[in-house]
Homo-oligomer: A and B are copies of this chain.
Amino acid sequence: MYRLLMMSLVASAIGGAAAADDLRDAALQTFKALPSTVPAVQGNPITAEKIDLGLALFFDPRLSASGVFSCYSCHNLTTGGDDNMETSVGHGWQKGPRNAPTALNAVLNEAQFWDGRADDLKAQAKGPIQAGVEMANTPDNVVVTLKSMPAYVDWFTAAFPDEADPVTFDNMAKAIEAFEATLLTPAPFDAWLNGDDAALSEDARAGLALFMDKGCSACHSGVNVGGHGYYPFGLIEKPGSEILPEGDKGRFAVTETADDEYVFRAAPLRNIALTAPYFHSGKVWDLPVAVEIMAESQLGEALKPEEVTQLVAFLDSLTGKMPEVALPVLPAETATTPRPTSAVVQ
């Protein structure tokens, strides 16, 4: 049905309102418009106090051992919620193993990280803070740091009012999750899903039809156009080791199941035009090239140049309006705040 639909669209260069409605009906079975309010998060009721605390924590470089890195360093909200590097540079100038995914709309992913090893953002947030190649801190040191600044104790108390000892590593992660839940980026595609015919260009609509017809949407679907489900990278044809390095077996490291070798979470595609370079290895900088590689490796298809153009036009329609973020004012260190250390522990 999608192929028919696509052919009618491409061949007859859009058949008017009826065809547009058909395409929308098909799209609504596969995708979902972004919610217009902050979504509920399981096990973590969102409150204004929690969001404010999470904003402060997200920007606080004192969550890292060195004082150099905050969440914002690699999930830079000025540049699409990621860091635009192959893999992030962290503590001691070490390089992380995989490309940093965007924090934008990440609350809507069904699991976090390229291998889905965290169920949600409150689990995810604890990872980089402790990773030796990222922020290289420890939960104990984080809690001592936060407790050393009276304003943080007040903010945690306001965000977790029923708890006797609110300043905990768990609550830090919950507050960061609450802030990240506000990082939604409504895009032209959402406007179009919601009925605004003019929100997508003809190329973007043709690209959407191709996206569904060729089978891209078999993995990249739902509200984040991906971000759920695990698939082998190289389902049909394995990309070269420059793009799919042999040493990183993806979800295999989580499940230790042979079937999960080189299996990764299908990337969420919102704001993909802002978040080069691409793939878990971050080896591809050009979006049209990334689209061609996906078509070959996952679908066994060599795309025509026009098809690439249309698919990229559709992907461009996933670039959303950035959330307005006012820089927080963080409390000053006190005499008991642990001092930053740039030393690298081997």
> Chain A: residues with CB nearer than 8 A to chain B?
56, 59-62, 66-68, 73, 76-80, 83-85, 89, 92-93, 95, 273-274, 276, 285-286, 322, 324-330, 332-333, 335, 339-340, 342, 344
Contact = CB atoms under 8 A, between A and B. Distances in A.
A13 to B, nearest CB: 28
A52 to B, nearest CB: 13
Contacts of A335: 285-286
A92 B77 CA distance: 24
A88 to B, nearest CB: 9
B66 A332 contact: no
Contacts of A340: 84-85
Contacts of A84: 61-62, 67, 333, 340
Contacts of A333: 84, 276, 285
Contact of A78 (B59, B66, B95, B324): B59
A328 to B, nearest CB: 6
A59 B333 CA distance: 23
A67 B92 contact: no
B329 A322 contact: yes
Contact of A330 (B60, B66, B79, B327): B79
22 contacts: A59-B78, A60-B78, A60-B79, A61-B83, A62-B84, A67-B84, A67-B85, A68-B89, A78-B327, A78-B328, A78-B329, A78-B330, A85-B342, A89-B342, A273-B332, A274-B332, A276-B332, A285-B339, A322-B329, A325-B326, A325-B327, A327-B327
A98 B325 CA distance: 31
A77 B327 CA distance: 8
